[in-house]
């Protein structure tokens, strides 16, 4: 690793053996702290019956977490040169992530965004410096202009967040306006020249973050079951939730990784829709774990909601995950109508499981497991490259 800074030249989209680095994996693990904080606050809101407010705040907080992760991921895919300066600036971004995570409870419960915005400010200043470094290193005029547009757009949006959340206190409407502005920055920046992100690397990065979020879901549900058992509640009340939830997570993993999505990204005109769609993939995956915690609390009498509401806390995000993965991944690899309908019908079945009372999570888990079995059977018969 070079000790002195060098030119931040763009990496090739056709680079062989392009894999995630240990620094990127460390970055992801630190983000999971923020994901866990958002999921934990969602549990408290849903269990207390504050469903609408809880969902709105969860979506707002999760957008901030996801967008900060995505900004770094796509930049790193194009310009990661792994020298000392790059590592130090990335570690500064990680510090910002941890500040953001510390501010999640206050933002969720009291709409106090001071810590969240402070953490974001640290991350965005570091990211701007990376884009400016790339611009100074670029010899291609179009690529230099793109890097400068990214740096300027990120800086302007960060100023907008400060005004919207700390000065004006604009609430959800202001947040939504700023979220749209943020998502327009890449579209505007890359109108002059496309950044050289690597399809295989991006597919791996998104896949790894999906794994981490699903792992956090399992961990959250395990802790909830453990705490309920420690209070001497019957295993019979908890086993259907634990078993069904585990089946849902296993099926979610199988379905997400069933197709070689890097092949689609390599030929796609733009990765924007695919990348942006993962807000729902990551958000719903994390919400499944929160829903399982709510279902456990309801089963042992600690939640102030009905059985059906607790069941919906699991089935709705599970259905969203299935439909989104179908839209972003699976449908591009399906050859027959039966294959195309498998995941949408499963999503409807999972939603219908909400009506199954205390067995809803188990029924939803069995439905997703059946979907995997049907998908594997259809794939082996009609399209060997697609497992679900």
Residues 169 and 203 in one domain: no
Q: What pTM did the predictor assign?
A: 0.92
Q: Which of 65, 174, 168, 164 is nearest to 120 (CA)?
A: 65
Per the CB < 8 A criterion, the answer to whether 295 and 241 are in contact is: yes
Residues 167 and 245 in one domain: no
Q: How far apart are CA 363 and CA 355, in angstroms?
A: 10
Per the CB < 8 A criterion, the answer to whether 262 and 199 are in contact is: yes
Per-residue confidence (pLDDT) for residue 384, from 0 to 100 = 46
Residues 213 and 94 in one domain: no
Residues 175 and 27 in one domain: yes
Note whether residue 11 is domain-resident: no
Residues 88 and 45 in one domain: yes
Per-residue confidence (pLDDT) for residue 306, from 0 to 100 = 92
Residues 280 and 371 in one domain: yes
Residues 152 and 226 in one domain: no
Q: How far apart are CA 149 and CA 73, in angstroms?
A: 17
As for how many domains the chain has, the answer is: 2
Q: How far apart are CA 15 and CA 41, in angstroms?
A: 42
Residues 205 and 185 in one domain: no
CATH number at residue 337: 1.20.1410
Q: Which domain holds residue 180?
A: 22-189
Residues 33 and 124 in one domain: yes
Q: Which of 376, 384, 252 is nearest to 325 (CA)?
A: 252
Q: How far apart are CA 299 and CA 293, in angstroms?
A: 10
Residues 167 and 208 in one domain: no
Q: Which of 284, 376, 380, 361 is nearest to 327 (CA)?
A: 284
Residues 215 and 129 in one domain: no
Note whether residue 17 is domain-resident: no
What is the pLDDT tens value at each position of the chain, 388 positions in all?
555 667 888 888 888 888 899 999 999 999 988 999 999 999 999 999 999 999 999 999 999 999 999 999 999 999 999 999 999 999 999 999 999 999 999 998 888 999 999 999 999 999 999 999 999 998 889 999 999 999 999 999 999 999 998 888 888 999 999 999 999 999 999 988 888 899 999 999 999 999 999 998 888 888 877 777 777 666 777 888 888 999 999 999 999 998 888 888 887 666 788 999 999 999 999 999 999 999 988 988 888 899 999 999 999 999 999 999 999 988 888 888 888 888 999 999 999 999 998 899 999 999 999 988 888 777 666 554 455 5
Boundary residue ending a domain (129, 155, 189): 189
Boundary residue ending a domain (136, 162, 189): 189
Q: How far apart are CA 214 and CA 217, in angstroms?
A: 5
């Amino acid at each position: 690793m070079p000790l002195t800074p060098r030119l931040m030249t763009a990496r090739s989209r056709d680079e062989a053996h392009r894999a995630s680095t240990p620094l990127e994996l460390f970055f992801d693990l630190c983000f999971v702290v923020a994901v866990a904080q958002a999921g934990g606050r969602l549990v408290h809101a849903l269990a207390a019956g504050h469903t609408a407010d809880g969902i709105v705040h969860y979506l707002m907080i999760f957008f901030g977490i996801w967008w900060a992760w995505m900004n770094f991921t796509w930049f790193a895919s194009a310009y990661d040169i792994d020298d000392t300066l790059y590592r130090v600036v990335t570690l500064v971004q990680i510090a910002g992530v941890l500040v953001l995570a510390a501010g999640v409870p206050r933002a969720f419960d009291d709409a106090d965004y001071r810590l969240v915005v402070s953490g974001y400010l640290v991350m965005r200043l570091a990211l701007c410096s990376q884009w400016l470094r790339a611009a100074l290193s670029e010899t291609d005029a179009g690529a230099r202009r793109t890097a400068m547009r990214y740096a300027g757009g990120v800086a302007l949006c960060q100023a907008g967040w400060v005004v919207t959340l700390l000065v004006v206190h604009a609430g959800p409407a202001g947040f939504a306006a700023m979220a749209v502005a943020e998502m327009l920055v890449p579209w505007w920046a890359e109108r002059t020249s496309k950044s050289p992100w690597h399809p295989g690397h991006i597919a791996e990065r998104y896949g790894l973050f999906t794994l981490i979020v699903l792992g956090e879901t399992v961990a959250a549900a395990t802790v909830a079951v453990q705490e309920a058992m420690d209070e001497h509640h019957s295993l019979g009340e908890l086993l259907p939730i634990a078993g069904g939830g585990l089946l849902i997570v296993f099926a979610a993993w199988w379905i997400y990784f069933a197709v070689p999505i890097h092949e689609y990204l390599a030929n796609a005109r733009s990765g924007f829709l695919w990348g942006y769609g993962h807000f729902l993939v990551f958000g719903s995956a994390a919400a499944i774990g929160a829903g399982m915690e709510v279902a456990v609390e309801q089963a042992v009498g600690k939640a102030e909601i009905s059985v059906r509401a607790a069941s919906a806390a699991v089935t709705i995000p599970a259905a969203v995950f299935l439909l989104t993965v179908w839209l972003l991944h699976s449908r591009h690899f399906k050859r027959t109508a039966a294959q195309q309908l498998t995941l949408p019908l499963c999503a409807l079945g999972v939603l219908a499981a909400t009506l199954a009372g205390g067995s809803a999570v188990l029924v939803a888990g069995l439905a997703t497991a059946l979907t995997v079995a049907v998908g594997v059977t259809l794939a082996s018969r009609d399209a060997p490259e697609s497992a679900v």
